């Protein structure tokens, strides 16, 4: 892989918008996966608005560049890191780059995922199922493994993984995606239990509920997008958790409709 991490960090004067937001996360570094759109994008903006430097990843740079520009225009700071999460070597190189630049990682948000085809279990395509598990589960373990040392170096490392209600409430035709998310919940909860008594690292699992994203539109094409919440509400909730802290293995679920935090 030939990508290069862009360490452009412009410390602009704070805009009126940023002055309205608290800076409880100033001096902290966050890594958000799947940040080019939807919930990941909203989480990155919300953390940056509260003073964190956000390292934003996605497969391509396009959406990340637009997000980085918005964050900088609002007075925040961000680093672009185009990344194929199915490439373990790329994850390792990103961890090394972050370690060299900041020595630690305060916050890790595991958001990137793929829906795959909604189909009966007996009809699941093996190749696509393998791809879904690779991104939604195996890549997440690789992220945890590579960033574990950096989370431990932080005063209070925090990891939040995004899940779905189908991981706990089986639903027809959602078997492949649900299985990947159920396994992710167990994986992250196990890591949290391991960390509880030996470090300050804490983990949480967040079910964002119905949210206005491209993935949601694919899954529910007939749904009125205005009947569900904007991703910004999820972003603000994640920032609130990062600021207030949480117990390891904590589970949080958001309602379908809610006001911004």
Q: For residues 208 and 165, what is the distance between their CA atoms, to the nearest angstrom?
A: 9
User: Which member of 173, 177, 220, 237 is catalytic?
Assistant: 177
* This prediction's pTM: 0.89
How many C-alpha atoms does 192 have within 13 Å on its Cβ side? 20
- Whether 177 is catalytic: yes
pLDDT in tens, the chain (261 residues): 444 454 443 223 333 333 445 799 999 999 999 999 999 999 999 999 999 999 999 998 888 999 999 999 999 999 999 999 999 999 999 999 999 999 999 999 999 999 999 999 999 999 999 999 999 999 999 999 999 999 999 999 999 999 999 999 999 999 999 999 999 999 999 999 999 999 999 999 999 998 888 888 888 899 998 888 999 999 999 999 999 999 888 899 987 555 444
C-alpha distances (whole Å) from 18 to each of 49, 71, 77, 135, 166 are 6, 10, 12, 34, 36
pLDDT of residue 256: 59
Write down all domains in the chain, each with its CATH number in brackets: 23-253 (3.40.50.720)
């Amino acid at each position: 892989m030939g990508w290069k991490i862009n360490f452009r960090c412009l410390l602009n004067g704070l805009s009126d918008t940023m002055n309205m937001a608290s800076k409880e996360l100033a001096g902290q570094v966050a890594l958000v996966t799947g940040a080019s759109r939807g919930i990941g994008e909203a989480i990155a903006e919300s953390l940056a608005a509260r003073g964190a430097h956000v390292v934003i990843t996605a497969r391509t740079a396009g959406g990340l560049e637009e997000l980085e520009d918005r964050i900088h225009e609002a007075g925040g700071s961000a680093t672009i890191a185009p990344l194929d999460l199915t490439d373990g070597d790329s994850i390792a190189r990103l961890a090394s780059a972050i370690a060299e630049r900041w020595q630690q990682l305060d916050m890790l948000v595991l958001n990137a995922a793929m829906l795959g085809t909604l189909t009966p279990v007996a009809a699941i395509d093996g190749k696509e199922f393998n791809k879904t598990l690779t991104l939604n589960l195996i890549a997440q373990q690789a992220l945890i493994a590579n960033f574990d040392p950096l989370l431990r170096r932080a005063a209070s490392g925090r990891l939040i993984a995004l899940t779905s209600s189908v991981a706990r409430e089986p639903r027809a035709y959602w078997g492949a995606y649900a299985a990947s998310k159920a396994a992710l919940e167990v994986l992250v909860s196990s890591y949290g239990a391991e960390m509880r008594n030996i470090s300050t690292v804490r983990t949480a699992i967040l079910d964002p509920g119905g949210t206005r994203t491209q993935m949601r539109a694919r899954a529910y094409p007939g749904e009125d997008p205005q009947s569900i919440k904007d991703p910004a509400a999820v972003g603000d909730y994640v920032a609130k958790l990062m600021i207030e802290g949480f117990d390891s293995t904590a589970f949080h679920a958001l309602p379908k409709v809610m006001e911004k935090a």
